[in-house]
């Protein structure tokens, strides 16, 4: 049954003229160096690959992340490899285990292939409950950790991630989705994929790098693990991506100072709204380290979404497990000020 999801997606569709803080997009575009690189490659679009563009991307990522280049692959976003790893390693007899609430794309892939999907509530401090996740299905094919988690923005400690990697069945895959990792000023799980053959890290350029519509994502994993996800021709041509996106990504990943600056600006914009809400006595789920946060209105969230939209501010959706809670994405400082003003107009305790 795909209808509830279709309804959920509605919240992410653009409403003309509204402040768009509903879909965890970056409020600003790609870095200038990325746009320049993409423009150059658009002009050379007659060539399949003007000059080893994929290899340049893998080398740039390898140098930034400390992952061997042969353990890096690129995809049109991270949704595609997320589905593929589930198709490759889960089945009707080897299920999928995830948190709840979390990013649900893999739930739908599980439904599609008839694999049982176990959804394990987050801990009371909003981490993935890795022990309960293993207990929920000790023989799963895929365990999925999203850190920072969409929709809570909360981080699961590396020690917990390592515990699950060490205690899951040897032939199961641990997928760690780091779509929002660029907002975290701390350790990444990526290094696990540098040495282990049963862990896959997902990255995307759709978030901090501002490339959601350009479509570029990465997997870090052993070549053998990724072979099972590769396209039908063995990855010769069907694995090629638009060179504009590849070149934009290559230019962006090494922009350490701009990454830090964007992170700091968006974290400040998030805290501006979080403190505004708290000052009004509105409950915010604590601990977000990403470009989103959640508000527990203490009453159904949907009417709040509608009321804010009537004020020209489009916030995000709710998850069925928490119907009173809305996800809000972080926009620019001006957009968060508009959000704060809209809350002032509509909020009644």
Reduced to 3 states (helix: H, G, I; strand: E, B; else coil), residue 298 is: coil
153 binds ligand PLP (CB under 6 A): no
Q: Closest residue to ligand PLP, Cβ-based?
A: 77
Nearest to 153 by CA among 263, 306, 72: 263
Nearer to ligand PLP, 25 or 276 (CB): 25
Q: How far from the centroid of its chain's Cα atoms is residue 39's Cα?
A: 26
Of 21, 79, 141, 273, which one interacts with ligand PLP (CB under 6 A)?
79
Residue 151 beta carbon to ligand PLP: minimum distance, rounded to whole angstroms: 8
98 binds ligand PLP (CB under 6 A): no
Of 87, 158, 212, 258, which one interacts with ligand PLP (CB under 6 A)?
212
Nearer to ligand PLP, 148 or 342 (CB): 148
In order, the DSSP letters of 124-165 are TTS---HHHHHHH-TT-SEEEEESSPTTT-PPPPHHHHHHHH
Q: Which single residue is written with the structure tokens 């394990």?
A: 120
Pairing of strands 142-146, 173-177: parallel
The angle that helices 243-253 and 53-65 make with each other, rounded to 10 degrees, is 30
Per-residue contact track with ligand PLP, 281 to 320, x per CB under 6 A?
----------------------------------------
150 binds ligand PLP (CB under 6 A): yes
What is the C-alpha to C-alpha distance for residues 193 and 225, in angstroms, rounded to an integer?
11
177 binds ligand PLP (CB under 6 A): yes
198 binds ligand PLP (CB under 6 A): no
Judged by CB under 6 A, which stretch of 71-79, 122-130, 316-324, 332-340 contacts ligand PLP? 71-79
Judged by CB under 6 A, which stretch of 72-80, 249-257, 263-271, 300-308 contacts ligand PLP? 72-80
146 binds ligand PLP (CB under 6 A): yes
Of 100, 147, 204, 318, which one interacts with ligand PLP (CB under 6 A)?
204
Tokens linked to 227: 């072979």
What is the C-alpha to C-alpha distance for residues 206 and 78, in angstroms, rounded to an integer?
9
Q: Which residues contact 117 (CB under 8 A, 6 or more apart)?
A: 95, 96, 97, 98, 106, 107, 110, 111
Judged by CB under 6 A, which stretch of 29-37, 74-82, 116-124, 281-289 contacts ligand PLP? 74-82
Phi, psi of 49, rounded to the nearest 5 degrees? -150, 95
Nearer to ligand PLP, 147 or 342 (CB): 147
Nearer to ligand PLP, 129 or 177 (CB): 177
206 binds ligand PLP (CB under 6 A): yes
Asked whether the beta carbons of 201 and 65 are under 8 A apart, the reply is no
Residues that bind ligand PLP (CB under 6 A): 24, 77-79, 103, 146, 150, 177, 179, 204, 206, 212, 217
């Amino acid at each position: 049954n795909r209808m509830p999801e279709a309804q959920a997606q509605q919240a992410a569709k653009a409403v003309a003229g509204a402040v768009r803080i509903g879909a965890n997009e970056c409020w600003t575009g790609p870095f200038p160096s990325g746009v320049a690189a993409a423009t150059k490659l658009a002009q050379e679009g007659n060539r399949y690959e003007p000059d080893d563009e994929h290899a340049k991307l893998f080398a740039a990522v390898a140098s930034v992340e400390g992952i061997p280049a042969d353990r890096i692959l690129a995809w049109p976003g991270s949704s595609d490899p997320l589905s593929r790893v589930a198709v490759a390693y889960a089945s009707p007899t080897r299920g999928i285990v995830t948190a709840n609430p979390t990013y649900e794309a893999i739930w739908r892939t599980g439904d599609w292939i008839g694999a049982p999907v176990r959804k394990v509530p987050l801990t009371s401090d909003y981490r993935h409950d890795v022990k309960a996740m293993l207990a929920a299905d000790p023989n799963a094919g895929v365990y999925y950790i999203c850190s920072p988690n969409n929709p809570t923005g909360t981080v699961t400690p590396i020690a917990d991630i390592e515990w699950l990697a060490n205690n899951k069945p040897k032939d199961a895959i641990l997928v760690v989705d780091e779509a929002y990792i660029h907002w975290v000023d701390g350790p990444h799980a990526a290094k696990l994929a540098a040495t282990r053959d049963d862990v896959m890290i997902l990255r995307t350029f759709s978030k901090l790098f501002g490339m959601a519509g350009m479509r570029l994502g990465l997997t870090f994993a052993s070549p053998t693990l990724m072979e099972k996800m590769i396209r039908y021709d063995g990855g010769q041509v069907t694995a090629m991506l638009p060179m504009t996106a590849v070149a934009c990504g290559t230019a962006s990943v090494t922009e350490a100072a701009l990454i830090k600056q964007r992170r700091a600006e968006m974290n400040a914009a998030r805290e501006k709204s979080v403190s505004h809400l708290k000052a009004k006595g509105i409950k915010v789920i604590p601990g977000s380290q990403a470009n989103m946060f959640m508000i527990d209105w203490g009453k159904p969230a949907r009417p709040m979404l509608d009321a804010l939209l009537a004020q020209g501010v489009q916030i995000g959706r709710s998850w069925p497990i928490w119907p009173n809670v809305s996800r809000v994405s972080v926009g620019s400082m001006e957009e968060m000020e508009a959000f704060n003003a809209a809350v002032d107009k509509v909020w009644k305790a």
